[in-house]
Amino acid sequence: MKLGKETIKDRIINYLLLQKDFVSGDAIAKEIGVSRTIINRYIKELIREGFDIESRKKEGYKLVSYQDVLYSSLINFRLSELSKKYSIMIFDELDSTNTYCLKNFDKMNDCTVVIAKTQRKGKGRFGREWVSEEDKDITMSILLKPNSEVNVLKYIISSSLAVLRTLRNFDVSDLFIKWPNDIYYKDKKLCGILTETSIEMTSKVVEAVVIGIGLNVNSTISQRVKNAISLYEILGFQVKRVSIISQILSYFDEFVNTSYDSLFSEWKENMGYLGEEVIVKKGDEEIECRFVDVSRSGEIVVEKDRRIMMFSFGEITLRRS
């Protein structure tokens, strides 16, 4: 079998990650099954891309550190045991990671994570566009194939809590969930999640759940998108996306295996604007009301003139009054 360039580079990275000390180019070449010349060439490429690989005459190579580069080997290494469950696919460019999953899910495995370094036609909720910066942000979709009747809300809540917990590890306060699943920092959007499903018409079986996560990481997105912010703009330094992606996946896996009751209460505890005056936008109509609760099936519960109203995910958008 002929190995592609990216696969060889992933294998080199993986091999170097597992070594405590210097390792010879011959040993790497033997392990991967390609020539020494190819190893030399790809190591040079990796260095150009942002890997700090020290080389010593007679001793060989050692991976010292790396910058914000996207390679599946780096994510798998961090995922450890979970890498057996999740398959990572990284594309240089896609129109939309969600669209890719929805089109191809029948040929893909359950628990595949599709990541695009650059997303050309990112989709947001309500047909809006999702803008991200080339090779700076995270645009990824988790494909699940439950093949049974499932509570999709559990996946939606799990993904937003997974992103929230990952971001809180950076000691960022003032983060909250904006109903139903956006992550906000103060009044700025840091992450948006679009969950799409493919449901078999007659049996109502959920064939595919695609959880699309757009997280502004190392970009200066606030200069391009109104009311948006990136993690870099909050922290003042760049963060490795592979570390964020692996943390999100680990937490996500933990949350989907948690009882719905405890998930629901954590979701509600972190819900922004709860108890406050908000504006609910339904089509062209804007309703000023008070956000009083969220129902167990995920609807927003609002009160206006002593009248209670409930709205579901696809119906409305919400903003602070």
To ligand BTN, the closest distance from the beta carbon of 132 in angstroms equals 7
β 307-311/138-144 pair status: unpaired
Helix (H) / strand (E) containing 5: helix 5-18
Task: Kindly state whether residue 182 participates in binding ligand BTN, applying the rule CB under 6 A.
Answer: yes
Q: Measured between alpha carbons, how far is 279 from 321 in angstroms, rounded to an integer?
A: 5
To ligand BTN, the closest distance from the beta carbon of 245 in angstroms equals 12
Task: Kindly state whether residue 159 participates in binding ligand BTN, applying the rule CB under 6 A.
Answer: no
Strands of the chain, DSSP E: 51-56, 60-66, 87-94, 112-119, 138-144, 175-178, 182-185, 188-199, 206-215, 277-282, 285-294, 300-304, 307-311, 317-320
Return the number of the residue (89 or 193) whose C-beta is nearest ligand BTN.
Answer: 193
Return the number of the residue (127 or 283) whose C-beta is nearest ligand BTN.
Answer: 127
Residue nearest to ligand BTN according to CB distances in the complex:
192
Residue range at the interface with ligand BTN (CB under 6 A); choices 29-37, 69-77, 134-142, 241-249:
134-142
Give 114's Cβ-side CA count (13 Å radius): 25
Count, residues near ligand BTN per rule CB under 6 A: 19
Using DSSP, state whether 136 is helix, strand or coil.
coil
For the chain, helix, strand, coil in percent to 5 are: 35, 30, 35
Task: Kindly state whether residue 214 participates in binding ligand BTN, applying the rule CB under 6 A.
Answer: yes
Q: Which residues partner with 133 through β-bridges?
A: none
Task: Kindly state whether residue 195 participates in binding ligand BTN, applying the rule CB under 6 A.
Answer: no
What sign does the dihedral 227-192-313-273 (CA atoms) show? Answer: negative
Q: Measured between alpha carbons, how far is 43 from 60 in angstroms, rounded to an integer?
A: 11
Residue of the chain from 193, 225, 294, 318 that contacts ligand BTN (CB under 6 A)? 193
Report 35-74 residues binding ligand BTN (CB under 6 A): none
To ligand BTN, the closest distance from the beta carbon of 114 in angstroms equals 9
Report 106-125 residues binding ligand BTN (CB under 6 A): 122-125
Report 84-103 residues binding ligand BTN (CB under 6 A): 96-98
Q: Measured between alpha carbons, how far is 252 from 257 in angstroms, rounded to an integer?
A: 9
Give 196's Cβ-side CA count (13 Å radius): 19
Residue range at the interface with ligand BTN (CB under 6 A); choices 102-110, 139-147, 262-270, 312-320:
139-147
Residue of the chain from 212, 230, 246, 291 that contacts ligand BTN (CB under 6 A)? 212
Task: Kindly state whether residue 272 participates in binding ligand BTN, applying the rule CB under 6 A.
Answer: no
Site for ligand BTN, rule CB under 6 A? 96-98, 122-125, 128, 130, 139-141, 182, 192-194, 212-214
